[in-house]
Amino acid sequence: MSATATEHEGVAHAAMGARTRRPQRGRYFFAVAAIIMLALMVAGFHPYYLRGKGMAGRTISPQLAALVFVHGTALSAWLLLFLVQSLLVPARRLRVHMRLGWYGILVAAVAATSGMMLAVESVREMPTAPFWGMTYQQFLLVMLSEVALFSLFVFAGVLLRKRPKLHKSAMLLASLSILAGATVRMPVLFPVFGEAGSQGIYGPILTFGAVLVLVRSVLSGATDRALTAGYAVMAVVLIAVSEFAVTDAGSVLAGVILQP
């Protein structure tokens, strides 16, 4: 065999080895992301998990208690399911992964439906209460935008279930989109991101999301276009809605939604 042929063969083997190593390096990326998300959820909502208390230790209204329980249980189940699903893929338990995925759709539907109902009903109880630099009625649009994004990403993930890379990115973004409810309950973040406006509400999860995009791209050896594009859409929507919510038009729209 000539030296040139040997050299080409060595290059081919090296390229193949690089392609093999890259997926291995990122094998548990989604599982680690899921663990961090679960930790954030527990850290933010631990007063509810441990004592059944709302934000800042407030007592949850008896009229909303059942709805809060259903929504909280569904979101917790979603993140737990996301972790399990993220572990089943590298374990090559794809058949179990696919079967479990259909239960995930049901969990997502319950989380989204209960989330919309809870947002509206909770605002009706105290529409003028101040919350994150706006009235609670204005904050309604912020909450509904999170539910809409979660639903959109889950729907995209289901449609793209036969395209693993796109499917995984959509499900990661769906999970990320519901974390602001936990991070706004973590005072340790206030000195960094503030306690009002889009920066205070979404600064933590958008920063975490940017880190995930960067790490995913490094592990993959190339920019993850699907994850990057989805993250950009999420950031634009969340920031735009939070800014629109405090305008006169936003207040009018929230009032229309709250009408019986």
pLDDT per residue as tens digits for the range 115-126: 999 999 999 988
Mean pLDDT, all residues of the chain: 88
DSSP state of 134: E
Number of other residues whose CB lies within 10 A of the CB of residue 65: 13
Which tens digit of pLDDT belongs to each residue from 79-117?
Answer: 999 999 999 998 889 899 999 999 999 999 999 999 999
pTM over 0.85: yes
| Calculated CA dihedral for residues 170, 174, 176, 179, nearest 10 degrees | 180
Residue 245 above 70 pLDDT? Answer: yes
Q: How far is CA 128 from CA 111, 125, 138, 214, 255, in A?
A: 26, 9, 9, 40, 11
Which tens digit of pLDDT belongs to each residue from 35-73?
Answer: 999 999 999 999 898 888 877 778 888 999 999 999 999
Residue 151 is predicted with a pLDDT of 97
For residues 179 and 208, is the Cβ–Cβ distance under 8 A?
yes
Q: How far apart are CA 180 and CA 44, in angstroms?
A: 9
For residues 238 and 202, is the Cβ–Cβ distance under 8 A?
yes
Which tens digit of pLDDT belongs to each residue from 163-181?
Answer: 999 999 999 999 999 999 9
Which tens digit of pLDDT belongs to each residue from 182-211?
Answer: 999 999 999 999 988 889 999 999 999 999
Which tens digit of pLDDT belongs to each residue from 131-151?
Answer: 888 999 999 999 999 999 999
Q: What is the mean pLDDT of the segment spanning 223-252?
A: 95
DSSP H helices, 221-247, are 225-245
pLDDT tier, 12 (very low <50, low <70, confident <90, very high otherwise): very low
Residue 6 above 70 pLDDT? Answer: no
